[in-house]
Structure 1
């Protein structure tokens, strides 16, 4: 339908141009005189150019796009270079080039449409470069380039969308957190913690005297053969941390800050060899049960780059993820709305969690509302550790928890 409308539009414009030429010719034939024929012959070159332009094939124009920041971070600079090439030297006059994005919001960030007017002339190639100062987080699609060419008087205009698709992935901005494990739990310990100390039986650091309860497999038999005294191998302690990050996917004023905090924790915790998992709620519940390799971390960050908030009434209830942490571990919940129905669903499905830490992300250092304060007090009464954070407090968030 759209193609038909465009064809009718340009055909109508071309018939108009021919009609103007025919009208001046009839006028010259009946009127006669030098002035009448001067008008006709003066108009003839412009009509001929419009005719050639009507039949000019846009298919010979090729677009090449060079993106300097294809995988940038939120609020980072984004630089694009467009190059238009063609084979012939047919003179093109007023040529408007427009970059077509699937999202109109991106054009608003640039201060207007991505449009540039060129006098192509006889050149075979033109180049255009533009920049977006602060690219928003998300997956953005470049659909192509719209090329519009006009004749001298704007009587004839040809427009074509040249397909040149590119996908731009902008990751959430990641902050360098001062990551501190909360408390320590040893093999025989009684502390509730996210951090477990286990024995790495592949790393023997020495021997000690046998104590009742030591495993038989830990006995150093060579020492026993020499001294006839039971000795037990000592192993290197290896820290491991089972940690689930749970991102509240409901719409909030601080949703972008919540995503940034989640991505920052993922990055820092993975560098501390934590056994990580990520869950996000929203229109769909997404779970990344094991984030141990660089590839798995990248997949989780890609998900955080694409995630969009959902309305509260459309948010899917949490699934039962307790079995994922049946051997212990803890949950870090990141939200802006610690309302009781949501917190209750977390508590109900996290029965195996050793502890739950809730980071409530607020704008600036403003005070929380009475509803939020009541929800926080109710969550604390159920054993949830709650901390209210502004963006400027993200770096020290774990130090505050570890200090408790």
Structure 2
């Protein structure tokens, strides 16, 4: 700031001395033409304004990959002090967001005496991911750009862009048990005759599961925990190892998760890179958690199918862009049937006991019907 102040002061003195020594109409015209702008720059440099509030409105709030999103930024200042123009800079966790902005010029606003400013810009064709606003910086400037007044707001906001989903026609998957083969249109996970513990009550728990003795002592609702038999729910395992076609695998996983949750009311989800985190979906909030994971998941350099916790389900669906012989050998040790959905054109035929391999090309709409016909 001191350097800028010195530069402007020296420039004013130089122009004044030039006019006094040179004289004439041209010299005095230059002095009276330039001096107001330099004096204004001096005031801007010394002025300290305050931002009352910075509010951001995003529409729509829930978007999927490839959608457009409108962002409105509303700024309220404390004073009417005029700036020649103001600029808006928003720092985000993803530096490539600027590539998707439709109108870059919307970051500049002519100042005037207004206390309220509104910026609008559009983000087009956003890819899947998490976008987090970190810092909003407003910068007021004079006409010539000699002096600037900077304000920062640390208001944070997170946007999730969910994977693109396709409608899949539901078809119950045939599962093999010790007692034979059966279709499982809906599952029964718990053995309600064998209580093994209690847990906190969750919305949707049955009235018959409430542990009344615990409620009488603590006045807090607790629910009985039952012994779990082999779940008849479908388990979806996403291959997160880096490979071409990763986005398509995420899209297929999201489409299948939505289909099974709407049709059966439950499923399980895990990834190869984090096999210990198995999400059991029974309620809407569980499903929302799965969708959030699918929005933020990124390819990893590691992953081991053998460490998967998705072994206690009637059917495991493994979604991958590249199936290896090692994967098939690992799945052959599962006690339930495994369906491998491979994104891409059919390659070398691979067979393994208890494992189905189906190649997915084009639309996902008929994928469950095609698997059932195999």
Q: Partner residue of 1:357?
A: 339
Q: What is the CA distance between 1:177 and its match in structure 2? A: 0.8
Look up the SS of the partner of 2:154 in the other structure: strand
Q: What is the CA distance between 1:289 and its match in structure 2? A: 4.3
Q: What is the CA distance between 1:391 and its match in structure 2? A: 3.8
Superposed CA deviations along residues 27-72 of structure 1, whole A, max 9, x for unmatched, are 3444556654554344332222111101222433632111122222
Q: Is the 8 A contact 2:167 2:255 kept in 1?
A: yes
Q: What is the CA distance between 1:122 and its match in structure 2? A: 0.8
* Structure 2 residue corresponding to 1:336, chosen from 321, 339, 346: 321
Look up the SS of the partner of 1:360 in the other structure: strand
Q: Partner residue of 1:303?
A: 293
Q: Partner residue of 1:12?
A: 3
Q: Partner residue of 1:64?
A: 55
Q: Is the 8 A contact 2:102 2:124 kept in 1?
A: no
Give the TM-score of the pair, scaled to structure 1.
Answer: 0.74
CA distance in 2, matches of 1:267, 1:76: 19
Q: What is the CA distance between 1:266 and its match in structure 2? A: 1.1
Based on CA coordinates, which of the two structures has the bigger radius of gyration? 1
**What is the Cα-based RMSD across aligned positions, in Å?**
3.0
1:275/1:103 Cα in 2 relative to 1: closer, same or farther (>3 Å)? closer
CA distance in 1, matches of 2:77, 2:362: 50
Q: Partner residue of 1:389?
A: 360
Q: Partner residue of 1:140?
A: 131
Q: Partner residue of 1:206?
A: none
Q: Is the 8 A contact 2:140 2:148 kept in 1?
A: yes
Gap regions ≥5 residues in structure 1: 1-9, 203-239
Instruction: Please show how residues 3-402 of structure 1 align to structure 2 within 5 Å.
Output: 10-31=1-22, 36-60=27-51, 62-111=53-102, 113=104, 115-183=106-174, 189-191=179-181, 241-273=232-264, 275-282=266-273, 284-285=274-275, 287-310=277-300, 314-318=301-305, 320-321=307-308, 325-326=311-312, 329-348=314-333, 351-353=334-336, 355-362=337-344, 367-368=345-346, 373-374=347-348, 377-378=349-350, 380-392=351-363, 394-402=364-372
Q: What is the CA distance between 1:195 and its match in structure 2? A: 6.3
Q: Partner residue of 1:218?
A: none
Give the TM-score of the pair, scaled to structure 2.
Answer: 0.79
Q: What is the CA distance between 1:357 and its match in structure 2? A: 0.6
Q: Partner residue of 1:3?
A: none
1:196/1:87 Cα in 2 relative to 1: closer, same or farther (>3 Å)? closer
CA distance in 2, matches of 1:388, 1:58: 62
Q: Partner residue of 1:236?
A: none
Report which of the two has the higher share of helix: 1
Q: Is the 8 A contact 2:106 2:120 kept in 1?
A: no
1:308/1:113 Cα in 2 relative to 1: closer, same or farther (>3 Å)? farther
